[in-house]
């Protein structure tokens, strides 16, 4: 019975994740559109080398501000996602209690704070060993992008590309809908461009991970003291199940030893009754 009821929470997790990933991709698409509008103004520009460097400096300044704004919006989208799935999981649990003939109002005082605590644990980083808050993860994401942007501009200067061509490279880097998207990777301190990898990957990965952890953490927290609940069974799921999740598949855990999913994970946990 419990596993059927909590399917609603799993479906909500998937729906909320899909919603937030769509919103994050939209942020990058809008950013790419703004870059395109800007680089069209450089299409016919020539100018001196001094003017070229001024244009590139202005471009980097604009990209830096845009990257910070996108990071701010991603932070808001993630908070919205983890809050929604936590609230829904608590509501599903209360509905389950009611179906068992238990007066849900007697649990509201105990569980009404669970969602706030679960969300706070993720935002502040208390859920994780590194204790890194969400704001720091977003800051790292922004700094990573700015490093790539600086590298792309530097590469364009070294190749003697025009301001227009460099801005086209930046638009292609940001745009998740680009025909041949690319990211910059660093090997032994040297930058390399790899194609067919979207620049929004890290933001998408972070959002998926945070929403998944909010779902799992809330579910365990809201059921761990329920005398009807014996524990949880891990079910590996997702498009590409890793070796770690395959090893966990079917494993029984108690509330005290159940792990949280790895980044980008899509596994589910089943509530086991006594």
- How does pLDDT run across 57-73, given as a tens digit for each residue? 988 999 999 999 999 99
Region 75-85 average pLDDT: 96
What is the pTM (predicted TM-score) of this model?
0.89
CB atoms under 10 Å from CB of 208, counted, come to 23
Per the document, the length of the chain is 274
Model confidence at 203, pLDDT cuts 50, 70, 90, reads very high
Q: What is the pLDDT of residue 94?
A: 87
**How far is it, in rounded angstroms, from Cα 202 to Cα 146?**
13
Question: Are 161 and 33 contacting, i.e. CB atoms less than 8 angstroms apart?
Answer: no
Indicate the domain borders of the chain.
Answer: 2-226
Distance from C-alpha of 122 to C-alpha of 132, rounded to nearest angstrom: 9
Q: Is the pLDDT of residue 34 over 80?
A: yes
46-53 long-range CB contacts below 8 Å, 24 or more apart? 52/162, 52/163
Which residue reads 């679960």 in tokens? Answer: 118
pLDDT above 90: percentage of residues in the chain? 50
Is the pLDDT assigned to residue 44 strictly greater than 60? Answer: no
State the pLDDT at residue 106. Answer: 66
Q: Which of 14-28, 41-55, 157-171 has the lowest mean pLDDT?
A: 41-55
Which band of pLDDT confidence, cut at 50, 70 and 90, is reported for residue 111? Answer: low
Query: How do residues 133-177 score in pLDDT, each as one tens digit?
Result: 999 999 999 998 998 898 889 888 888 888 888 888 899 889 988
For the chain, give the secondary structure using H, E and C: CHHHHCHHHHHHHHHHHHHHHHHHHHHHHHHHHHHHHHHHHHCCCCCCHHHHHHHHHHHHHHHHHHHHHHHHHHHHHHHHHHHHHHHHHHHHHHHHHHHCCCCCHHHHHHHCCHHHHHHHHHHHCCCCCCCCCHHHHHHHHHHHHHHHHHHHHHHHHHCCCCHHHHHHHHHHHHCCCCCCCEEEEEECCEEEEEECCCCCHHHHHHHHHHHHHHHHHHHHHHHCCCCCEEEEEEECCCCCCCHHHHHHCCCEECCCCCCCCCCCCCCEEEEEEC
Residues 259-265 have a mean pLDDT of 92
């Amino acid at each position: 019975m419990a596993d059927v009821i909590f399917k609603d929470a799993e479906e909500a997790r998937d729906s909320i994740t899909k919603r937030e990933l769509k919103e994050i991709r939209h942020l990058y698409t809008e950013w790419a559109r703004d870059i395109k509008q800007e680089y069209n103004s450089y299409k016919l520009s020539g100018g001196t080398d001094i003017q070229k460097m001024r244009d590139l400096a202005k471009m980097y300044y604009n990209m830096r501000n845009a990257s910070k704004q996108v990071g701010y919006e991603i932070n808001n989208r993630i908070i919205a996602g983890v809050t929604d799935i936590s609230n829904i999981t608590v509501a599903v649990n209360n509905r389950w209690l009611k179906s068992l003939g238990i007066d849900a109002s007697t649990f509201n005082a105990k569980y009404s704070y669970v969602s706030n605590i679960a969300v706070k644990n993720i935002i502040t980083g208390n859920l994780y060993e590194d204790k890194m808050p969400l704001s720091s993860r977003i800051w790292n994401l922004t700094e990573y992008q700015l490093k790539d942007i600086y590298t792309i501009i530097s590469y364009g200067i070294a190749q003697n590309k025009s301001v227009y061509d460099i801005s086209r490279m930046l638009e292609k880097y940001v745009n998740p809908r680009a025909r041949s998207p690319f990211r910059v990777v660093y090997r032994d301190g040297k930058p390399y461009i790899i194609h067919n990898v979207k620049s929004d990957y890290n933001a998408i990965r972070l959002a998926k991970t945070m929403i998944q952890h909010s779902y799992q953490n809330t579910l365990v927290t809201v059921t761990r003291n329920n005398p009807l609940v014996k524990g949880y069974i891990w079910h590996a799921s997702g498009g590409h199940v890793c070796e770690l999740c395959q090893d966990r598949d079917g494993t029984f855990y108690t509330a005290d030893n159940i792990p949280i999913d790895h980044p980008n994970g899509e596994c589910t946990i089943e509530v086991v009754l006594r």
